[in-house]
């Protein structure tokens, strides 16, 4: 299974002491997390104030820096509407990207998702279909670009315990249907239960300061490398139990 690292997300400077914001810092984190088991990166380009940005220069700077730090490791970026709310402007800015990521996440519940998808595919950028709830699944299923997506990115919200996480994951997976690559992850208190669920289900997952600021035991996470190390330990532990039981 694939562990994707999400080192910064929409968080701002000051949200965590080790949050990487500048392209150089994100590149250093990329090298650190790949060294301990991450096989892919999902990064949020930032402007000078540390806010998410889809501007061509900001995308180019971070993708170039990360690609130099971890050659051959796939790099994805966000296209979240919070970075640029007008979907027409998002389409236009994607058309002006000068350095292309390998893929980009696209939340299908956001306005203009199909137009943004078309712009990404026209540029040769693969798409992770971000599905947060059943409404998002329905919008994606109705999209003409549904079958062109690299994978489905199921994102479960903060606040779910183990049983609730399992139930919500099952509900969304049933709605998505079989036969599609899925990356399953949670946020906040849901992150670790959902990660364990992904491992048990044989699905790809992700981890990083975008999704959670604490380790599985509740202690503050010192950095992204510690989170990826904890995730790889969970993968090994779950597989060991499954193997012993099988």
pTM of the model: 0.95
Which pLDDT score, from 0 to 100, does residue 245 have? 46
Q: What is the pLDDT of residues 184-218, one digit of tens each?
A: 999 999 999 999 999 999 999 999 999 999 999 99
Instruction: Look up residue 99 and give its DSSP letter.
Output: S
CATH number at residue 192: 3.20.20.70
Longest dimension (CA), the chain: 53
Which pLDDT score, from 0 to 100, does residue 186 have? 97
User: Domain tally for the chain?
Assistant: 1
User: Are the C-beta atoms of residues 213 and 8 closer than 8 Å to each other?
Assistant: no
Give the domain range for residue 230: 3-245
CA angle (223, 226, 232) in 5-degree steps: 145
Q: What is the pLDDT of residues 110-162, one digit of tens each?
A: 999 999 999 999 999 999 999 999 999 999 999 999 999 999 999 999 998 88
Confidence of residue 230 (pLDDT cuts 50, 70, 90): very high
The angle, 0 to 180 degrees and rounded to 10, between the axes of the packed helices 162-176 and 191-201 is 50
For the cut 80, the answer to whether the pLDDT of residue 47 exceeds it is: yes
Which pLDDT score, from 0 to 100, does residue 208 have? 98
């Amino acid at each position: 299974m694939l562990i994707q690292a999400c080192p910064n997300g929409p968080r701002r400077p000051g949200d965590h002491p080790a949050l990487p914001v500048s392209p150089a810092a994100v590149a250093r984190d990329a090298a650190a997390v790949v060294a301990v088991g991450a096989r892919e990166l999902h990064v949020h380009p930032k402007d000078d104030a540390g806010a998410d940005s889809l501007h061509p220069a900001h995308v180019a700077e971070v993708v170039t820096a990360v690609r130099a730090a971890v050659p051959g490791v796939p790099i994805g970026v966000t296209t979240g509407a919070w970075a640029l709310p007008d979907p027409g402007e998002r389409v236009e800015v994607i058309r002006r990207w000068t350095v292309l990521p390998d893929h980009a996440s696209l939340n299908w519940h956001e306005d203009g998702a199909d137009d943004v998808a078309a712009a990404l595919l026209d540029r040769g950028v693969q798409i992770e279909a971000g599905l947060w709830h059943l409404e998002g699944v329905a919008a994606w299923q109705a999209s003409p670009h549904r079958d062109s997506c690299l994978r489905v990115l199921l994102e479960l919200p903060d606040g779910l315990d183990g049983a609730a996480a399992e139930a919500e994951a099952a509900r969304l997976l049933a709605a998505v249907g079989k036969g599609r690559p899925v990356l399953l992850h949670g946020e906040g208190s849901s992150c670790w239960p959902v990660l364990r669920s992904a491992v048990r289900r044989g699905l790809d997952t992700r981890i990083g300061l975008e999704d959670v600021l604490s380790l599985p035991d509740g202690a503050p996470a010192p950095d992204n490398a510690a989170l990826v190390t904890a995730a790889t330990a969970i993968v090994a532990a779950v597989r060991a139990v499954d193997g012993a039981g099988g």
